[in-house]
């Protein structure tokens, strides 16, 4: 825990340094592309974890690559890079999305929350604390995406958004294990921590009720 705090501090220093510079130019990591003459680039500004950020990016840069490589917010993970695994899940304008399947330049003026914006090692978000308590991970690679997704799942249930397993479409959906399993199906965990993830979400849902 102490080590991760130190890491966090040093990363914050890095972030402050990045924010102080006028703009960060980043190239997408896909296809080995580097920013070069003749490749279209664009400026984009959005808020990330409450901080205003401005970047100049190759238009091809996904939101995922902008977060990781432009802003050095490496909490959000790249898994499949095709929207199939959910490791890159972040919350944009209040909704969870796959950050690998959206372009950074499409989010001008947007508000983005990554796992770094949910809590800190000393002040964990309730969902982060519940994942620790219930051992909702093994290798941890999918965990930031699982946690961002789980936080949104509870918000979606609270907002009355139905799911495939909601019995009555016109009734309010329940905060049940069956609902959590269905709604979390876009987040894959190759270590198979699913049952513990459901327990973690159940505990947070119970706290909220």
Pick the stretch among 25-33, 116-124, 126-134, 193-201 that binds another protein (CB under 8 A). Answer: 25-33
Residues in contact with another protein, total (CB under 8 A)? 47
Q: Is 54 in the site for another protein (CB under 8 A)?
A: no
Retrieve residue 60's tokens.
Answer: 């091809």
SS (H, E, C) 60-79: CCEHHHHHHHHCCCCCCCCC
Q: For the chain, how big is the Rg over CA atoms in Å?
A: 18
Residues 58-117 that bind another protein (CB under 8 A): 58-60, 62, 81-83, 86, 89, 95-98, 101-103, 105-106, 108
Provide the token pair at 108: 């001008």
**Closer residue to another protein (CB): 10 or 34:** 34
Residues 114-143 that bind another protein (CB under 8 A): none
DSSP 119: -
Q: How far is the CB of 123 from another protein (least distance, A)?
A: 26
Task: Find the binder of another protein among 119, 121, 126, 162 (CB under 8 A).
Answer: 162
Pairing type for strands 95-98 and 89-92 reads antiparallel
- Regarding 16 and contact with another protein (CB under 8 A), the answer is no
CB of 69 to another protein, least distance (A): 15
CA distance 26 to 64: 12
**Phi-psi sector, 191: left (phi>0), alpha (psi -120 to 50), beta:** alpha
Is there binding between residue 37 and another protein (CB under 8 A)?
no
Nearer to another protein, 2 or 164 (CB): 164
- CB nearer to another protein: give 83 or 126: 83
d(CA 57, CA 160): 37
Please give the C-alpha separations between residue 208 and each of 74, 114, 201, in angstroms, as whole numbers.
29, 22, 11
Q: Which residues bind another protein (CB under 8 A)?
A: 28, 30-31, 33, 38-40, 42, 58-60, 62, 81-83, 86, 89, 95-98, 101-103, 105-106, 108, 149, 152-153, 156, 159-164, 166, 169-170, 181-187
């Amino acid at each position: 825990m102490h080590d991760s705090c130190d890491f966090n501090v040093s990363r914050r220093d890095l972030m402050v340094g990045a924010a102080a510079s006028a703009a960060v130019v980043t190239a997408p990591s896909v296809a080995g592309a580097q920013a070069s003459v003749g490749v279209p680039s664009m400026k984009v500004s959005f808020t990330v974890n409450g901080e205003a950020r401005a970047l100049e990016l190759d238009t091809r840069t996904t939101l995922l690559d902008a977060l990781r490589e432009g802003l050095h917010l490496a909490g959000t993970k790249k898994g499949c890079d095709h929207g199939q695994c959910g490791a890159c899940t972040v919350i944009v304008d209040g909704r969870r999305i796959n950050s690998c399947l959206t372009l950074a330049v499409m989010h001008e003026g947007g508000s983005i929350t990554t796992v770094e914006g949910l809590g800190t090692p000393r002040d964990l978000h309730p969902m982060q604390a519940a994942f620790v308590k219930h051992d909702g991970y093994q290798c941890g690679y999918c965990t930031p995406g699982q946690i961002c997704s789980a936080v949104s799942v509870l918000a979606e249930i609270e907002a009355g958004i139905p799911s495939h397993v909601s019995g009555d479409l016109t009734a309010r959906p329940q905060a049940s294990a069956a609902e959590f399993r269905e709604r979390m199906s876009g987040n894959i965990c190759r270590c198979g921590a699913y049952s513990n993830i459901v327990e973690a979400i159940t505990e947070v849902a119970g706290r909220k009720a």
